[in-house]
Amino acid sequence: MASAKYVFVTGGVTSSLGKGIISASLATLLQSRGFRVTIQKFDPYLNVDPGTLNPYEHGECFVTDDGAETDLDLGHYERFLNHPTSQANNVTTGRVYQSVIEKERRGDFLGKTVQVIPHITNEIKERMQILGNSGDYDVVITELGGTVGDIESLPYVESVRQLCWERPDDCAVVHLTLIPYLSAAGELKTKPTQHSVKSLQESGVFPDVLVCRTEYELTESIRRKLALFCNVQTDSVIQSIDAATIYDVPKLMKEEQLDKVVLKKLGLSHTGEADITNWEEFVYHLNNPKHTVDIALVGKYVELKDSYKSISESFIHASSFLRCKVILHWICSEKLDATSAIESLKNMDGVLVAPGFGPRGIEGKLYAVQYARENKIPFFGICLGMQASVIEYARNVLHYVSAHSTEMNPETSYPVIDIMKAQKKVINMGGTMRLGSCACELKKGSIAHAVYGVDKIDERHRHRYEFNNLYLNDFEKLGMKATGINPESGLVEIVEIPNHPWFVGVQFHPEYKSTVANPHPLFVSFVKAALKNKS
Ligand code: GLN
């Protein structure tokens, strides 16, 4: 079996240039040529994983089937490739050091001084090759978080240098950089890129391809200048012009022949063209909707839209599938009370209450649920959103006026949402929630059963609290039904209200499994219900 090839994607000049999207777009092109591709991300921060980070720090925390709490770029990888990632696809400096220090304590390096070089770099190199060595992939794309020149990125750059030296025929380095436009001079400027490439070269890493983020077209002479001073072939200077959506990027990269240049460098077949017809159809329908709907996304992190990345992307997948543009209205739950909830939601065709942690903004979420329930507006509650729908129902229909989740009020006399038994003894906060894929059996006759079209599903979780089954009978008697149950634990995973047009709360996160090729059926059904409500 031929060994896997490696593409390293580094970033220069500034952060936020979209390394994740470039990596995912390149992977999409290679995949559509028949290569088996995966993408992994190495992040230079010291958290062992991003699970303990506030969304304001780093955007959403994405969760894989195997329960890894990861960087949101892994969501892009899955959405573009329609292929699951895993714990191995996201590594942080914290994880690398943790593992080296555990080995030191075990005595694996007995007698030796443990150092950044070679112990940390060896650990990084080993982890960079885990997926490649599995035999499951032809090409592994590795995105290096951070910007070249950062102190914390140095061990990663050194590891890339060593791998390129050890496997010269198997590696390519793509450097994503910014070509700023100086309006006073009326010119695109190449100097920052020259400097960032020089900084890589000083570390012994010689990029093969430059992907240049730019607001204006790169002229032939700029391409030649970049090639000459950055030591790459002219056809390896790839323009990445600002695009309307991230979904336009694969086509732009195809036009610039990024896939061909990379394949050539890796010594892989690069004849013919990548067939991205399905992708282009997806983008066409996204840009040419026949209908629109207005949907409220109620959450407490709405100032930073990346906090709900997978949810907003799931709506995009559903939009294209249904030819129905979803206009998302980001509503801050902290600002909602009985009056403002009416004002904010009265023109909405559907209401989604988002996941979250802690008490801030919870009362506003309850008002949003109540408004959607009483006014028969399609309602979709995800994780804390589902828990909010249960609390609201308990308070306003069951008349347990002080009902709450013990997360928000440990003293409540009606703990309708309570901490899971397995969570009671948990002391460490990192990686200890109920995480990853769990089974759920669907009740016949429910919306969920109709939507999924099967009796049993698997969805991904990230929570510590659950529906308190002590109250299940009370809820079911008064109309809220548990329509999805975990077969092993009996945990309620889905609630519905049958005499409402579309009221579904899910304890899991369907948004983590929606992809371009496979829009999530719950999002599709919810948008359909919103469209019906509108008409
Ligand atoms: N805070 C809630 C819990 O831990 C919900 C979590 C979430 O929305 N992801 O159960």
- For ligand 1, the distance from its centroid to the CA atom of residue 166, given in whole angstroms, is 45
Write phi, then psi, for 415 (nearest 5 degrees).
-75, 75
State the distance from the centre of ligand 1 to the C-alpha of 357, rounded, in angstroms.
Answer: 5
> 138 by DSSP, 3-state: which?
coil
- Token pair, residue 35, equals 């290569």
pLDDT of residue 426: 82
Q: How far is CA 455 from the centre of its chain?
A: 27
The closest alpha carbon to 41, from 117, 123, 146, 112, belongs to: 146
Atom of ligand 1 nearest to the CA of 354: 8
d(CA 373, CA 351): 10
Active-site annotation holds for 438 = no
Question: Does residue 383 have an active-site annotation?
Answer: yes
Q: Per the residue annotation, which of 164, 212, 383, 438 is the catalytic one?
A: 383
Please say if 509 is a catalytic residue: yes
Contacts of 95 (CB under 8 A, 6+ apart): 48, 49
494 sits in which H/E element: strand 492-496
Q: What pLDDT, on the 0 to 100 scale, is given for residue 1?
A: 57
Structure tokens at 60: 């959403």
Number of the ligand 1 atom closest to the C-alpha atom of 417:
10
Q: Which is the closest atom of ligand 1 to the Cα of 358?
A: 1
The reported pLDDT for the residue numbered 106 is 96
Ligand 1: which residue has its CA nearest to atom 6?
Answer: 463
Centre of ligand 1 to C-alpha 465, Å, is 6
pLDDT value, residue 54: 84
Partners of 241 in the β-ladder: 214
Q: Could you report the per-residue pLDDT of 7-31, keeping only the tens digit for each?
A: 999 999 898 899 999 999 999 999 9
**Residue 191 alpha carbon to ligand 1 centre in Å:** 47
> Rounded to whole angstroms, what are the CA distances from 499 to 374, 378, 446?
11, 12, 11
R_g over Cα of the chain: 25
List pLDDT tens digits, range 316-362.
999 999 999 999 999 999 999 999 999 999 999 999 999 999 999 99
Contact predicate 172/209, CB 8 Å: yes
Q: What share of the chain is helix, strand, coil (3-state, %, to 5)?
A: 40, 20, 35
- List, for the chain, all residue ranges whose pLDDT scores fall below the cut of 50: none
Q: Which residue has its alpha carbon closest to ligand 1 atom 8?
A: 355
> What six digits make up the tokens of 177?
């950089």
